[in-house]
Structure 1
Amino acid sequence: MQKSFFVLLAVISFLGAQAQSSLSGTISNAEDNTVMPYVEIYFPKLEKGGVTDLAGKFQINNLPSGEYKIIISYIGFETYSKTLQILDGPNQLSVILTPSAIEMEEVIVSTPFHQLQRENVMKVERADIANLKTKGAITLADGLSTIAGVSTVSTGVGIGKPVIRGLSSNRVLIYTQGVRLENQQFGDEHGLGVNDAGIESVEVIKGPASLLYGSDALGGVLYLNPEKFAVANETSGDVGLDYFSNTEGFRANAGFKSSGNKLKFLVRGSTTSHVDYKAGNGLRTTNSRFRENDLKTGIGYQATSFKTEVRYNYTESTLGIPETIGEQTKRRSPEMPYQKLNNHILSSKTKLFFEKSSLEATFGYIFNDRKEFEEHEHEDEHEGEDHLDEEGAALAMDLKTFNYNVQYHLPNWKNLETIVGVQGMHQTNENFGEEILIPNATTNDFGVLATSHLHFKNDSDLQFGLRYDLRSIVGEAHGIDGEDGYIADVSRDFNSFNVAAGYKLLLNKSIIGRLNLASGFRAPNLAELTSNGSHEGTNRYEIGNSELNNEQNVQTDLSFEYKGKHIELFANGFYNTINDYIFIEPNGEFIDGNAVFLYQQQDANLYGYELGFHLHPHPLDWLHIESSLESVTGKLSNNEYLPLIPANNLTNTLRVEFSDQSSSLQSYYAFVTLNSVFAQHKANTFETESDGYNLLNFGLGGSLFVGKQQIDLRISGNNILDKTYISHLSRLKTDGIANIGRNVNLGISIPL
């Protein structure tokens, strides 16, 4: 072991001692040939970059030799993207940026070749978390629902589960810190499980992504990008505070990061707390209160041809599970039933850069401790608060997951890039509570993949790939055969071949067309295979089916984008065919007062579209008029509609943005949005139809300078007319409980 350690140390020292290269140059404005300070220069593959100084100059040191894409970006200018040959020693690059009405583009990380959106074969939605916060989102899941094609199945305001084009739960993968998040996401009342503090942006793959991510990516992927380390030789920090009027909630967070030439460090902590939310009818939804504490930290090291980082995230959540309109209080301690979650995410990512190729290895360990309490309550007469005895949790599960992803980027052959890799997961679930929802079990995944990207001279691109996956599930027996709650042992193997192919064509300077065809699969989860008992979170008795097959789907996706000087348009259409779709339905029987639900399989189809419009007339650079329309329909092969399909949604926004570097209020914005949700008449047999409604929202904010200190202020209001409504995707709909009413958010952030 000691010998191996010294060998590894010698390899790292050798890599760090490789011939060092640098890149320096000047960035200037094409309009007047003036230099441009504060322009960002970034190498996506190296995850390294810098910023120009007041003279428009930059220098990036310790670069490995080889071919690397460079991205140069600044707000209001066309993003520069080019592949450079970095030679040993000093390298020079001077770039002239062209002013552009099109908003600054970012690098897409969730797809394998790290392209700008306009270069990407697969259409991926991207949103900055900072922008989502300007819309007054209480939780990350709430903010994600403002992205086209994304909705949320909610249980109050504290518990939200993302829906991508009508698919959710184990059909949508969540990636954070570069690893797949596993937190018993099969449960209807199990939320996203990630805090937005320390997350920089989110990318949404809408459709099967099993080629890249394996089982459970049948419906899509939400890829959460953690905040970047500081650039070399810089130190920064910030503090922020939010207040939410409806829930009398607060959210506070603070972060610090510092980087030297090679060593990097960051840390961020946050806390949030909310009372029961109030609907438009003035009634508070009892036990919808929640609180959460979160810590994220990371350390990185970057030499010339070697880069590694380790990140850790701890989240502690206490979530009330609302069931009725009861006592109207503003207590913050939850009542029964409630969940208490402790989630640990430890991840590492290492890259080795060779002259014409590279190797990337990502490892993750996730420990999810989930408890649900239903009884054991007593009251302390001295304090007048409900205190919860945490002994004897009704449900207690520990989920331990180790996953790995190793990818080798082969040397480019002409205009062809290729990646081969292996991915896998080892997972164990153990029960410690009074009730057993799913058995003690072990899950093992293994997948091997190859994908290539071919760039043609006519500015068109072709991407294609192939993958094979194997999943093994072994569950222990629980209980006594013939008695209620008995779970038989299970041992099942699932395998699948999946392919993906996409073609992007630049029809002219302003129009991009994309056609993608991809397959995906999902192995049934433990709840679907083994359930035999009451699920208190859903008030039903669930019986699994150990003979369930893989879900297998194929989706065709066609999209067009037009970006001109004054107007932008997009149109995305999709058709998704799913074989052996797993669903649950009642059989008409009752056990212990709960309706019995059985897991079934049947083929299904989902289809729909997203349309978007953005008008930014010039010379009125400050004015933006935006509109988007989303629609999805889901049907089983017997022509019944699928459950939990979001209603058609039309969003119209008027937004203004101003910038004045000579004043203390250097930049500011304001917007008003009308969100029109149509009636949902395409309901499943066991659902009720939903009425349509209109929600009026607003927001304004800006960056204020007091001396040299920047202060970012914002205020937003959602449902400002205090409309009483019930979303079709609300799990409280069956109890007639309305969604949240008027909510005003006040936020302040101070960079240090």
Structure 2
Amino acid sequence: MKLFLNTLLLIAVTSLYSQNTIKGTVIDADTKQGLALVNIYLTDIEKGTYTNEQGFFSIENLPSGTYNIVVSIIGYGTKSLDVTIPIKDNISISLSPSAIEMEDIIISTPFHKLQSDNVMKVERKTIKDLKSSGSVTLADGITNIAGVESITTGLGIGKPVIRGLSSNRVLVYTQGVRLENQQFGAEHGLGISNSGIESVEVIKGPASLLYGSDALGGILYLNPERFANSNSSSGDLSATYYSNTQGFSTNAGYKSSVNNFKFLFRGNLTEHSDYNTKSYRVTNTRFREQDFKAGIGYQNNAFKTDFRYNVNNSKLGIPEEIGEQSKNKTPLLPFQNITNHVFSSKTSMFFNGSKLDVNLGYIYNDRKEFEEHHDHDEDEHEDEEHEDEEHEDEHEEDEILEAALHMKLKTFNYDVKYSLPKLGKFETIVGIQGMNQINSNYGEEQLIPDATTNDFGILATSHIHFEKVDIQLGARYDNRNIDVLNGINRTFNSYNGAFGIKKSITQNITARINLATGFRAPNLSELTSDGTHEGTNRYEIGNNDLKSEQNFQTDIALEFKNEHFEVFANGFYNNINNYIFLSPDGNIIDNTPVYLYLQSDAKLYGGEFGLHLHPHPLDWLHFESSFETVTGKQKNDDYLPLIPANSISNIIRVEFDNDWIKKGYAFAKLKSTFKQNNISAFETNTQGYNLLSAGIGGSFSVFNNELSIALSGNNLTNKSYINHLSRLKPDGIFNMGRNINLELTYNL
């Protein structure tokens, strides 16, 4: 590996290129007039600009080679084209008017294509869209993406579920690096704020080829906000009020780009009291979150790098039963106090037609959990001797001791990929990825032992372009070693591959077929747990003899699209060998039921189906309908736990833009969730329900700057219901009742 990197770095030093510039004009295909404020973005180089009033643009300091340019603006079809640099003449790009929504680049797949050019089907939503639909948290917002749900513990804790798979079977990427934060726990949330995140991408299915172990079920890829375009700057302030929890969220950010340097920063503070239902407030669902993100970057004609940092501190109440009814925002016991640091660097070196990407990450997760007989004074340190000290809150005084459970997880990961020069119709990427992870205990209780985990993987993947067919294929080898302090040492190996084909059957019909294998090595909790997991009220016993999970999934996607009508059908069948699950054995230890980790083959199948109608000449009117279904079974036909219920969503949305309001919209949504009677042996079933949502928003000019207003409401009928993936379901505790969000954003 060291020789490989040194060789490439030597090439970078000895390859000197002159500075190149692209100039051109973007015009309307019908009127031939220049278009202003069109976004011009080089996807490989991650550099862009906007056209001026005449439609002219210029981008400087570019490396030699062939690169992809994406040209986009609302109201026109997005265009993707390749240009070879250096180029002497100005280029002219024509865009055709279109009611189809503007396309964006998919970052989570290796070749950074538009979704229409992608072999793999990837769902993408902007954070702005998720928030305008009324979502309160990031975990809440992702449930608006087809095929994605969330396992929740109240409002503040949620973890993604992709087509029935969750926890360590779904890998989360943030700032371009894999997020590691003890995600094995059922009550362990994302630990990531939606502040400073531009968009969310979801790969539904095995992604081990691209990301290794733990990507067996899919990827949740969080794209950070972009730096400012060259020689520009911007800032914004926002505030959101939530009626149900009497909560608030404040946000401020600034970014600037001068010559070759760029930087940004963003801060966020969020507080919520216990959420309200039609009948009661759910005690201790309150939480407080503080988040800060910063980034600095440098770019010249043949090299670019950026460094980002995110610190997130969350103080999360753990609900147990309906008790105190208050609107206080300070969590009661028990609660979690979690600090998550994410350091990442992303570097690209451009050669003549090829590119080397080096992504490095360091994640420091500090998790403290406090119980009834422990204090939660954050000024206490684990090294101090126990002493009696009074702590007053509105209802009680507790003795200050220390966190019952205190774990620190330190993870270093690396991802090095080399994009070979294009060879005819072939684009090829080779790479290595790896991770070193250390888990340490500092609390008086221990759920999982001190241990070190090391990963190493090597991969190769190619994209082959034909006139009406695109093919993507690849292979990968992975090795994972888990070394536990008490002497357990396990090594897991796996070979995986993927093959996909996208074919344009007609001008309007596209078909995709993807076949992929994936794997997941047992995590530290599954192998070694031996203790009470307070947050889940289980005494968990690990199994050192567990094997790796291995799966094979078939995905078929059909899509019809014309200027005013779209329809899609996505189906999948996922066969998993050695599926790991928890099962009670009937024993009791420390007044807590004992659960064992077992294995059995399993299968999941289902899909998403929907349509989008925006009829001519009413291009401002949109009607969307989608249906989601997934079934999960063990080999003996027993149902798997935590499988989301089938649901159907219907949305009517209107868009408007005039002299006094810009980017205006209004919507109404009805989501119908069906009964879930297909349950595992130790689950309870749930009834069906309907939730009505609505919202309106737009932008105004205030003091020559843009002020955006968004008003939205969820569960407008104040329905009492229980989601099947709520961890409060066994106690019959309802999900959140009616909630109205009001968000104001002022761009400086």
TM-score (norm 1): 0.95
Task: Select 1:349's aligned residue among 336, 346, 370.
Answer: 346
Question: Per-residue deviation at 1:55?
Answer: 1.4
How far does the alpha carbon of each residue in 1:230-274 deviate from its partner, in whole angstroms, 9 at most, with x for none? Answer: 000001100110000000110011000000121010000001000
Match of 1:465 in 2: 474
Equivalent residues in 2 for 1:502-581, closer than 5 Å: 502-581=500-579
Alignment partner of 2:645: what SS? coil
In 2, Cα distance between the equivalents of 1:246 and 1:259? 40
In 1, Cα distance between the equivalents of 2:401 and 2:414? 36
Match of 1:320 in 2: 317
In 1, Cα distance between the equivalents of 2:126 and 2:499? 28
In 1, Cα distance between the equivalents of 2:288 and 2:575? 40
Question: Per-residue deviation at 1:31?
Answer: 2.1
Structure 1 runs (4+) greater than 2 angstroms displaced: 7-15, 375-391
Q: Which amino acid aligns with 1:664?
A: W
Match of 1:95 in 2: 93
Match of 1:439 in 2: 449
Task: Select 2:724's aligned residue among 724, 728, 735.
Answer: 728
Match of 2:672 in 1: 676
Task: Say whether the 8 Å CA contact 1:280–1:725 is kept in structure 2.
Answer: no
Moved more, 521-530 or 375-384: 375-384
Q: Which amino acid aligns with 2:592?
A: N
Task: Say whether the 8 Å CA contact 1:373–1:390 is kept in structure 2.
Answer: no
Task: Select 2:245's aligned residue among 225, 247, 253.
Answer: 247
Task: Select 2:438's aligned residue among 414, 428, 433.
Answer: 428
Task: Say whether the 8 Å CA contact 1:218–1:520 is kept in structure 2.
Answer: yes
Task: Say whether the 8 Å CA contact 1:163–1:172 is kept in structure 2.
Answer: yes
Alignment partner of 1:308 is 2:318: no
Equivalent residues in 2 for 1:262-281, closer than 5 Å: 262-281=260-279
Equivalent residues in 2 for 1:138-153, closer than 5 Å: 138-153=136-151
Alignment partner of 1:143: what SS? helix
Match of 1:71 in 2: 70
Task: Select 2:689's aligned residue among 684, 690, 693.
Answer: 693
Task: Say whether the 8 Å CA contact 2:375–2:403 is kept in structure 1.
Answer: no
Alignment partner of 1:537: what SS? helix
Task: Say whether the 8 Å CA contact 2:375–2:400 is kept in structure 1.
Answer: no
In 2, Cα distance between the equivalents of 1:9 and 1:213? 24
Task: Say whether the 8 Å CA contact 1:300–1:307 is kept in structure 2.
Answer: yes
Task: Say whether the 8 Å CA contact 1:333–1:386 is kept in structure 2.
Answer: no
Moved more, 503-512 or 25-34: 25-34
* TM-aligned CA distance change 1:388 to 1:24, over 3 Å: farther
Match of 2:35 in 1: 36
In 1, Cα distance between the equivalents of 2:374 and 2:353? 63
Task: Say whether the 8 Å CA contact 1:504–1:515 is kept in structure 2.
Answer: yes
- Aligned identity (percent) is 57
Match of 1:171 in 2: 169
In 2, Cα distance between the equivalents of 1:284 and 1:389? 27
Alignment partner of 1:258 is 2:256: yes
Match of 1:706 in 2: 702
Unaligned runs of 5+ in 1: 1-6, 478-488
Alignment partner of 2:699: what SS? strand
* TM-aligned CA distance change 1:14 to 1:278, over 3 Å: same
How far does the alpha carbon of each residue in 1:304-343 deviate from its partner, in whole angstroms, 9 at most, with x for none? Answer: 0001000000001000000110010111111111000011
In 2, Cα distance between the equivalents of 1:303 and 1:260? 12
Match of 2:4 in 1: none
Question: Per-residue deviation at 1:100?
Answer: 1.1
In 1, Cα distance between the equivalents of 2:14 and 2:701? 47
Match of 2:495 in 1: 497
Alignment partner of 2:144: what SS? coil
Question: Per-residue deviation at 1:453?
Answer: 0.5
Question: Per-residue deviation at 1:384?
Answer: 3.5
Alignment partner of 1:410 is 2:420: yes
Task: Say whether the 8 Å CA contact 2:390–2:398 is kept in structure 1.
Answer: no
In 1, Cα distance between the equivalents of 2:32 and 2:513? 40
Question: Per-residue deviation at 1:388?
Answer: 6.7
Alignment partner of 2:536: what SS? coil
* TM-aligned CA distance change 1:318 to 1:91, over 3 Å: farther
Match of 1:335 in 2: 332
* TM-aligned CA distance change 1:63 to 1:530, over 3 Å: same
Task: Select 1:288's aligned residue among 263, 285, 290.
Answer: 285
Alignment partner of 1:398 is 2:412: no
Match of 2:58 in 1: 59
* TM-aligned CA distance change 1:9 to 1:361, over 3 Å: closer
In 1, Cα distance between the equivalents of 2:278 and 2:164? 27
Q: Which amino acid aligns with 2:352?
A: E
Question: Per-residue deviation at 1:650?
Answer: 0.3
Task: Say whether the 8 Å CA contact 2:167–2:183 is kept in structure 1.
Answer: yes
Task: Say whether the 8 Å CA contact 2:244–2:739 is kept in structure 1.
Answer: yes
TM-score (norm 2): 0.96
Question: Per-residue deviation at 1:215?
Answer: 0.1
Task: Say whether the 8 Å CA contact 2:648–2:671 is kept in structure 1.
Answer: yes
Question: Per-residue deviation at 1:92?
Answer: 1.7
Q: Which amino acid aligns with 2:581?
A: F
* TM-aligned CA distance change 1:388 to 1:274, over 3 Å: farther
Task: Say whether the 8 Å CA contact 1:67–1:356 is kept in structure 2.
Answer: yes
In 2, Cα distance between the equivalents of 1:200 and 1:549? 38
In 2, Cα distance between the equivalents of 1:261 and 1:556? 48
Moved more, 22-31 or 315-324: 22-31
In 1, Cα distance between the equivalents of 2:706 and 2:596? 57
Task: Say whether the 8 Å CA contact 1:626–1:652 is kept in structure 2.
Answer: yes
Question: Per-residue deviation at 1:382?
Answer: 7.5
* TM-aligned CA distance change 1:383 to 1:148, over 3 Å: closer
In 2, Cα distance between the equivalents of 1:562 and 1:387? 63
Equivalent residues in 2 for 1:206-221, closer than 5 Å: 206-221=204-219
Q: Which amino acid aligns with 1:411?
A: P
How far does the alpha carbon of each residue in 1:652-683 deviate from its partner, in whole angstroms, 9 at most, with x for none? Answer: 011110111xx221231110000000000101
Question: Per-residue deviation at 1:391?
Answer: 3.7
Q: Which amino acid aligns with 1:76?
A: G
Task: Say whether the 8 Å CA contact 1:136–1:745 is kept in structure 2.
Answer: yes
Question: Per-residue deviation at 1:376?
Answer: 2.8
In 2, Cα distance between the equivalents of 1:240 and 1:391? 39
RMSD: 1.6
Task: Select 2:360's aligned residue among 360, 363, 379.
Answer: 363
Alignment partner of 1:453 is 2:449: no
Q: Which amino acid aligns with 1:18?
A: Y
Task: Say whether the 8 Å CA contact 2:17–2:64 is kept in structure 1.
Answer: no
Task: Say whether the 8 Å CA contact 1:244–1:746 is kept in structure 2.
Answer: yes
Task: Say whether the 8 Å CA contact 1:401–1:425 is kept in structure 2.
Answer: yes
Question: Per-residue deviation at 1:708?
Answer: 1.7
In 2, Cα distance between the equivalents of 1:550 and 1:695? 40
Question: Per-residue deviation at 1:697?
Answer: 0.5
Task: Say whether the 8 Å CA contact 1:377–1:387 is kept in structure 2.
Answer: no
Alignment partner of 1:145: what SS? helix
Task: Say whether the 8 Å CA contact 2:390–2:400 is kept in structure 1.
Answer: no
In 2, Cα distance between the equivalents of 1:453 and 1:12? 25
Match of 2:630 in 1: 632
In 1, Cα distance between the equivalents of 2:441 and 2:629? 41
Q: Which amino acid aligns with 1:62?
A: N
Q: Which amino acid aligns with 1:469?
A: D
* TM-aligned CA distance change 1:535 to 1:565, over 3 Å: same
Question: Per-residue deviation at 1:412?
Answer: 1.1
